[in-house]
Amino acid sequence: MRVLVVEDEKKVARALREGLEAEHYDVRVASSGEEGFFLVNNELFDCVVLDLMLPHRDGLEILATVRKRGLQTPVLILTAKDTIHDRVRGLDSGADDYLVKPFAIPELLARIRALLRRGRTDQVLKLQHEDLEMDLVTRKVARAGQAIELTVKEFEILEYLLRHVSRVVSREMLTRDVWHVAARATPLDNVIDVSIARLRRKIDDAFPVKLLQTVRGVGFVLRRERG
């Protein structure tokens, strides 16, 4: 289980790292809002511990931005101010739980275990990017209101891309998270490329604005074509 800790206070960050590592979590620490924002957009974590009072970039603003982009990872916020206002703002911005500083490490560990067990409670049932929509319950996909038929695998790839909107998804990520294969291999890379090409035909060919882009040498990204 990978946990990202975004905390600028060195003492608190160190205590969090030690506590989490003792429980065998794989821990990354970001000491600024910028670094935390970069990591959360570029790596996969099972849980994020986010301090709200960060230099340069406010924790709540980071949280609201990544939730808007579709990030589903459970987020526990740390707040120094025990005011109802702060807590409500945090939960409104997409936090799953919060702890008021100072807190005891065992309590934090218990909260993280609970978050990982239950996942996000307000599971998103629809994913959307521009005019492309996916209903996770009926498993229907449409663009500009026009139904698109996808195979099971194409649906899974598109769901993964929609959950990572505007972030580049590498072939390694697709290998691991969509095909559930441990190591990347050339034959599978070819299968991935063929699947992406088919998916692109279905979601983009009939529309002037292309959404599924290839980033040469890196992977794929769902975002509006740059003119």
How would you classify the pairing of strands 26-30 and 97-100? unpaired
Nearer to Ca ion, 16 or 27 (CB): 16
Degrees to nearest 5, angle at CA 199 with 73 and 204: 100
Q: Under a CB-based contact definition with an 8 Å cutoff, are residues 8 and 51 in contact?
A: yes
CB of 8 to Ca ion, least distance (A): 5
30 sits in which H/E element: strand 26-30
Binding to Ca ion (CB under 5 A) within 43-102 occurs at: 51, 53
CB of 17 to Ca ion, least distance (A): 15
Nearer to Ca ion, 49 or 173 (CB): 49
CB of 123 to Ca ion, least distance (A): 30
111 vs 13: CA distance, rounded Å: 17
* Residue count, binding to Ca ion (CB under 5 A): 3
Per-residue binding letters, 14-53, with Ca ion (x by CB under 5 A): -------------------------------------x-x
Among 4, 5, 6, 8, binds Ca ion (CB under 5 A): 8
Dihedral sign, Cα of residue 135, residue 139, residue 144, residue 146: negative
> 53-88 burial string, b = 16+ CB within 10 Å, else e?
bbeebebbebbbbbbeebbebbbbbbbeeeeeebbe
Bridge partners of 142? 133, 147
Nearer to Ca ion, 56 or 126 (CB): 56
Binding to Ca ion (CB under 5 A) within 144-183 occurs at: none
Nearer to Ca ion, 39 or 191 (CB): 39
Nearer to Ca ion, 99 or 221 (CB): 99
CB of 84 to Ca ion, least distance (A): 20
Q: Under a CB-based contact definition with an 8 Å cutoff, are residues 108 and 115 in contact?
A: no
CB of 199 to Ca ion, least distance (A): 42
Which residues here bind Ca ion, judged by CB under 5 A? 8, 51, 53
